[in-house]
Structure 1
Amino acid sequence: MKPALLALALVMAVPVHAVQPEEMLADPALEARARALSKGLRCLVCRNENIDDSDAQLAKDLRVLLRERLVAGDSDEEAVAFLVDRYGEYVLLNPPATGANILLWIAGPAMLLAGAGIAFATFRRRGSAAAEGLSEEEKARLAEILKE
């Protein structure tokens, strides 16, 4: 591959962030805090994409609102709590496993275990049911075949 094409491919592979220059804060420390917090906040339009990577208007509004809260003097926890109060826990990319969310965290593994139990019981019942409808002669022949 030619060096120019390789360089172009590397430049194009760099992730593009949707944060616009006019949204950025003048204070580098506050901007770094805003970037760190926005990595954990979900775009409500794009789903499973953080607000820094989304081009949606609502994501832009969330970025601006987060930065306004930080400029107003909110701590990181207070700024995130403000957004959670306003938009619900769905705005968090990784919501805590507390309260009603604990059901969602437990539901997946519980359904997997229940499905495995049902499958095991079904296969076990089928295996024993196959021999129930046989005559004594057929059962003896089956036992003979299984021994071989």
Structure 2
Amino acid sequence: MTASRWLGLATLTVLFATNALAQDLSPVGRWTTIDDETKKPKSVIAIYEEGGKLFGKIEKIFPEPNEKPDPVCDKCEGKLKGQPIIGMVIMRDLKKDDDEWTGGTILDPSNGKTYKCKIAVEDKGKKLKVRGFVGMSMFGRTQHWVRAQE
């Protein structure tokens, strides 16, 4: 193999590896939420991009034996009140801001409240740091979601 052909092959290999790494570091994909108290999986959220912004939809839930398998958002207000939680868009309008996505909102269906939100991918794409807050970021709560197994 000639030197120029070898260099071309090496360049392509680096480009593919970089592209694969960038995809792993994207929040786009499926994420398992973990209950803060029980540490058990609570739901799977599908994060997707639309118009340059990120959104997240509840794809699946893991109800406890005493919970309804198809719950509705009783505590939500407006058009979301009484709507099924599965399929509900709970994360909206996050925009890329360096290594975070900010400027959007997240809905907590358990209390019907909407919070400002920012997210960041951690642990080489295996975890998602999700921060919901009121006003300033210091007044909020952080959860760590894990990338869902396909």
TM-score by length of 2: 0.23
Judging by fraction of residues, say which structure has more helix. Answer: 1
Judging by fraction of residues, say which structure has more strand. Answer: 2
Relative contact order higher in (CA < 8 Å, ≥ 6 apart)? 2
TM-score by length of 1: 0.23
Query: Which structure's CA Rg is the greater one?
Result: 1
